[in-house]
Structure 1
Amino acid sequence: MFDNELEQVRIAKKDELKSLGVNPYPQFLKRGMSIAQFREKFAFIKDLAEGEKKADEIVTLSGRLKLKRVAGKSTFANIEDDSGNIQVYYSLGSIGEEEYAKFKKNLEVGDIAQITGYAFITQTGEFSIHASKIVLASKALSPLPEKFHGLSDTEIRYRKRYLDMIMNGDVRDDFIKRAKIISGIRKFFEERGFLEVETPMMHPIAGGANARPFITHHNTLDVDFYLKIAPELYLKRLIVGGMNAIFEMNRCFRNEGMDLTHNPEFTSIEFYWAWHDYFEVMDLTEELFSFLIDSLNLPKILPYGELEIDFSKKFRRIKYLDALHEIGGIPNEIINDKSRILDKLKADGFEANSKLDLGHLQAELFDNYVESKLINPTFIIDFPISISPLSRRSDENPEIAERFELFIAGKELANAFNELNDPLDQYERFKAQIDAKNAGDDEAHEMDEDYCQALGYAMPPTAGWGLGVDRLVMLLLNKQSIRDVILFPAMRPKKD
């Protein structure tokens, strides 16, 4: 480690600084003014008369050295903090001969320094800080890449996010915006009377969603646990216990493939709302998007890649089976016929398991012919019951679940439904999921008898909702890969 030639040179310079009485890693330093504050406070000097373009007040700035150009007895540099960057000027005369010699040789790009001095305008018209004192705050042993910004090898950016953020201020800004989005979501629900709760990250049964779990082992109990794939069943237990409006924002884990919209570890939010229904949840979902777009000062017509997403209108609502015909172009005589669905999929080059029931085959039609066409915000409502094991059956049609999913830009962002609160029906649905697993559905839901028992104590009429926060951030920030909105995305181990 730190054994390449450039790093060895920097280590030698660090040692030389120590021999000169400079601690390359001091502790008790204070940041001082931010660069943005410095620019704002002393902006007036730009309007002063020639020969007077400087401020009297001495201030301290802190930042990473991003550029250094030595011109004999003077040096021009640039430092950057999380608010911006500023040119630094120092000379033999301004910081003293001994200090100048020390830092002329040993202060390098990548080092973090504190600059004390005053604001002034250079002869070339550059707003700068004229240094009277320099303190090394942290010596960088690894040199920054010269052409890192815009590097085509994005894998390096994801593996070394810290380096990505050092070299690309836009990346830092994106994650600041992500934090604001998450904060805004919390504010939105709290202002509407929802209580944030926490449920276990390790589950004895992989439940709450159709997904393959990660498995871990607890040594003391000598039992396997599953990392949370969804908090749903625990949250609904809390509704049984008397909490009427709750939400949880937390990490979930699914042992599945990775692509532009999937990471094995991701952030989701789920809420459950007693005495409300899925139509009211649709209304609340629209309110949330409006709230976030307004709070981030985003346009109502939002760019996303080559698309434009229209948030200025009410979200479209269309029934699942109607969408197969009206959006997917599937003839009505095919939609409810298993053999014809299989023939259609095969003819168009899609694979489908002939053991799947009608609802799952209709889902194959939806995934292949409808989903990618849902560009503007669209609620797909009333799903087949067999692919909705936790949803309430429709009173009008028991083969339909009172459920919706929200699609934007051809991607699912949210899933919601009127919650099934009949314990016997729930038990039979779990049994049907076991049959589906035996038929080859690796993501089918496990049996959870304790949850059925909880429902036996009666859960009030409730609607629930889950949303992928990472996909939401992708949408709002116009990012095409989930890795661009996760600080440290999962990566294949690097080969030596």
Structure 2
Amino acid sequence: MADTKHTDTTAADIEKLNDQMHVRREKMEQFAAAGVYPFGEKYEWDHHAADVKQAATTLETAATVVHLAGRLMAIRRHGKTAFCVLRDISGEIQVYFRKDLLGEDSYTLFKLLDIGDIIGVEGTVFTTHTGETTIRVSDWKLLTKALRPLPEKFHGLTDKETRYRQRYLDLIVNPEVKDTFIKRSKIIKGIRRYLDERGFLEVETPMLHTIAGGAAARPFKTYHHALDMDMYLRIAPELHLKRLLVGGLERVYEMNRCFRNEGIDTRHNPEFTTVELYQAFGDLEDVIAITEDIVATLAKQLYGTTKITYLDTEIDLTPPWKRMTMIEAVAEFTGKDFTGVTDLAAAQAIADELQVPYGKFDGIGKIINACFEEYVEEKLIQPTIITGHPLEISPLTKQQRENPLLTYRFEAFIYGRELANGFSELNDPLDQRRRFTAQMEERERGDDEAHQMDEDYCRALEYGLPPTGGLGIGIDRLVMFLTDSASIRDVLLFPTMKTIENK
């Protein structure tokens, strides 16, 4: 049987221990020598810190014995007494230790505690002469001895790289970070509740795809040994979800991860969360309405208002949001109007005048979109719905009857960032096959983000997809807006980071 004494040196002890860590390990051994297991057992708590504070008067009057568990965040010793700060998920509360109440042995062990240790306390509630709600500790238990000291109190953990890599430490030291992720959970629950109440069925579709489809993006490629075939981490669940509508599931949604092998910045992470939903017998207007209403509803649930502040800018999420077509938006911000432009040379001339680069094989639609991205996106601060996207950049979208160069598609922008994308889904199988064929030609010309041919999806459409409204919302960006977070890494518990060697 392996020797499990705490004094043993293991492979994890390669890192040089500093003085504080040596002292903490010595204290751990002292606990063990006194018969106290330094890494604790189950603890039956009955109150959180916030519960005690809220009901302090009642608890104090009734002399109710409360049990709490949490991490020590401050220790102020005064000989035979000590005031400490205990933090749990709900917040912090002061706890008071007295030698004459605890007894000699217990108080001697108490003096071995450090900031960062996790303990359980039992006691009654009282109010200090300064009005501070406090627990008078009658008994306590060590639940976990922390062998590493927390960052120095007044400097804290401010380096962003360290915060992202060691999120567990970030959550301990910076309470506002915890609040962000609690709000993220509420947002996700709110989206589910909103869609469930409107008859949408939550489904799960594959993460591993044989064809990287549903969006224009570079996929992560892997290999399945048993099946002897290449597979891709999904870039979008769209085509699987629409297959379900062919099968008769009229309203479906999926909230899950997607993966794109692209750049990393304040708005992009290789793995990210989206919600995609599809509504049979609906159209573009239905999903625009859902987008506006669901975002406004979430803001009201979190803050009681549809007016939020994002990076010192007030954003009014009250529906309906401002609307413009892509061509109208380009005209407003550049003075150049693509309305009626059907000649490629004319479109290229406008792009040249605006100094917007374009590819050798780009058509009018891609040029319009390039001008939009260059001159318009970052200026759409208040919530804005952009419609009328070119057919060339919308291979899965129904074509406008009144203008076949454009589609029934929209994107929602807030603070210059795309939040949502939706459209009246293309349900003509013949047109879809032609679009896939055109995309394949683009791939042959070097566009590795162009859509691949999906024969099974075309087959499914031939059985009949009802007229459908489809929508995708980026959960991470939505959480950014609703928590006033500047970077996507601030709303991901463990953002993708380049590995570094331990030193």
Q: What is the TM-score when the length of structure 1 is the normalising length?
A: 0.94
Cα offset, 1:321, TM superposition: 1.3
Q: Secondary structure at the match of 1:30?
A: coil
SS at match of 1:220: coil
CA offsets 1:135-163 (integer angstroms, 9 cap, x no match): 10111111111147764411111111111
Residue 39 of structure 1 deviates from its aligned partner by 1.2
| Corresponding position: 1:314 with 2:320 | yes
Q: Which of 117, 120, 125 in structure 1 is aligned with 2:123?
A: 117
Q: Deviations over 1:395-432 (max 9, x none)?
A: 12221111111111111111111111111111110111
The residue number in structure 1 matching 2:53 is: 39
User: Is the alpha carbon distance of 1:454 and 1:492 closer, same or farther for their aligned partners in structure 2, counting shifts above 3 Å?
Assistant: same
Alpha-carbon offset, residue 84 of structure 1: 1.3
| C-alpha contact (below 8 Å) 2:73/2:86 kept by paired residues | yes
Which stretch shifts more, 434-443 or 405-414? 434-443
Question: For residues 249-306 of structure 1, what are the alpha-carbon distances to aligned partners after superposition, in whole Å with 9 as ceiling and x for unaligned?
Answer: 0100000001111000000011111111111221222221222122112432221113
Instruction: Identify the residue that residue 142 of structure 1 maps to in structure 2.
Output: 148
The 5 Å alignment of 1:20-35 reads 20-35=34-49
**Structure 1: runs of 5 or more not aligned:** 46-52
Could you report, residue by residue, the CA deviation over 1:135-193 in whole angstroms, capped at 9, with x for unpaired residues? 10111111111147764411111111111111111111111110010000001011011
Counterparts of 1:100 and 1:322, CA distance in 2: 74
Structure-2 change in CA distance of 1:313 and 1:223 (3 Å):
closer
Task: Read off the aligned partner of 2:394 and give its amino acid letter.
Answer: S
Aligned to 2:66: 59
- In 2, Cα distance between the equivalents of 1:335 and 1:162? 55
Residue 307 of structure 2: aligned partner:
301
Pick the aligned partner of 2:30 from 16, 22, 27: 16
Distance 1:124 1:315 in 2: 50
- How far did 1:373 drift? 1.2
Per-residue deviation, 1:455: 0.6
Find 2:179's aligned residue among 148, 153, 173: 173
Match for 1:84 among 83, 91, 100?
91
1:15–1:35 Cα change, 3 Å: same
Question: Does the CA contact (< 8 Å) of 1:55 and 1:118 recur in 2?
Answer: no
User: Which residue pairs with 2:78 in the alignment?
Assistant: 71
Q: 1:334, 1:341 within 8 Å by CA — same for their partners in 2? A: no
Q: CA shift at 1:32, angstroms?
A: 2.5
Structure 1 residue 334 displacement after superposition: 10
Matched, 1:487 2:493: yes
- Asked whether the equivalents of residues 293 and 319 of structure 2 are also in contact (C-alpha less than 8 Å), the reply is no
CA RMSD, Structure 1 to Structure 2 (Å)? 1.9
- Is the CA contact 2:211–2:454 (under 8 Å) kept in the aligned structure 1? yes
Between the two proteins, what is the percent identity of the paired residues? 47
Q: 1:30 to 1:156 in 2, by over 3 A?
A: same
Shift of 1:98: 1.4
- Are 2:236 and 2:258, in contact at CA under 8 Å, matched by a contact in 1? yes
Task: Say whether the 8 Å CA contact 1:342–1:354 is kept in structure 2.
Answer: no
Kindly state the Cα deviation for residue 349 of structure 1 after the two structures are TM-superposed.
5.2
**Contact 2:49–2:91 (8 Å) recurs in 1:** yes
Contact 2:151 2:157 in 1 (8 A): no
2:17 maps to amino acid = N
Q: What is the SS of the residue equivalent to 1:452?
A: helix
Instruction: Give the equivalent residue in structure 2 for 1:128.
Output: 134
More moved, 123-132 vs 414-423: 123-132
The letter of the residue matching 1:23 is Y
Contact kept, 8 Å, 2:156 with 2:173, in 1: the verdict is: no
149-158 or 234-243, which deviates more = 149-158
CA shift digits 1:74-112 (9 cap, x unpaired): 1121110011111111121111111111221x1111000
Corresponding letter in the other structure for 2:388: D
| Separation of aligned partners in 1, 2:44 and 2:28 | 22
Say if 1:342 and 1:306 are closer, same or farther in 2 by CA, change over 3 A.
Answer: farther
Aligned counterpart in structure 2 of residue 453 of structure 1, from 449, 453, 459: 459
Match for 1:4 among 6, 17, 23? Answer: 17
CA distance in 2, matches of 1:147, 1:29: 28
Contact 2:24–2:147, Cα closer than 8 Å, also in 1: yes
Q: Which residue of 1 aligns with 2:270?
A: 264
Letter in 1 for 2:226: T
Contact kept in structure 2, 1:149 and 1:167, CA below 8 Å: no
Residues 152/39 of structure 1: CA separation in 2 closer, same or farther (3 Å cut): closer
SS of 1:100's equivalent in the other structure is helix
Q: Which residue of 1 aligns with 2:411?
A: 405
For 1:49, the equivalent position in structure 2 comes to none
Q: Equivalent residue for 1:438?
A: 444
Aligned residue identity for 1:280: D
Residue 234 of structure 2: aligned partner? 228
SS of the aligned residue for 2:439 comes to: helix
Secondary structure of 2:149's partner? coil
Find the aligned partners of 1:382 and 1:148 in 2 and give their Cα distance: 53
Q: TM-score, normalised by structure 2?
A: 0.93
The answer to whether 1:157 aligns with 2:170 is no
Work out which of the residue numbers 187, 190, 201 in structure 2 matches 1:195. 201
Mapped to 1, the partners of 2:481 and 2:266 lie a distance apart of 12
More off after superposition, 481-490 vs 397-406: 397-406
Paired with 2:417 and 2:38, the residues of 1 have a C-alpha distance of 50
Indicate the larger mover: 322-331 or 75-84: 322-331
Is contact 1:430-1:446 (8 Å) kept?
yes
Q: Is the contact between residue 296 and residue 319 of structure 2 (CA under 8 Å) also seen in structure 1?
A: no
- Deviation for aligned residue 1:347: 5.7
1:8-67 Cα shifts (integer Å, max 9, x gaps): 22112111111111111222321221111111222358xxxxxxx876222212110001
How has the CA–CA distance of structure 1 residues 398 and 344 changed in structure 2, closer, same or farther, with 3 Å as cutoff? closer
Mapping for residues 407-426 of structure 1, pairs under 5 Å: 407-426=413-432
2:483 to 477, 485, 489: 477
Cα distance change, pair 340–307 in 1 and its aligned pair in 2 (3 A): farther
Match among 102, 108, 111 for residue 109 of structure 2: 102
**Whole-Å separation in 2 of the counterparts to 1:277 and 1:243:** 16
Query: Quick one: structure 1 residues 149 and 31, their matched pair in 2 at CA, closer, same or farther if it must change by over 3 Å?
Result: farther
Whole-angstrom CA distance in 2 between matches of 1:487 and 1:415: 25
CA contact 1:54–1:118 (8 Å) conserved in 2: no
CA contact (8 A) 2:86 2:93 kept: yes
CA distance in 1 between counterparts of 2:63 and 2:226 reads 67
Q: Return 5+ residue gaps in structure 2 as ranges.
A: 1-11
| AA of the residue aligned to 1:412 | E
The SS at the match of 2:407 is strand
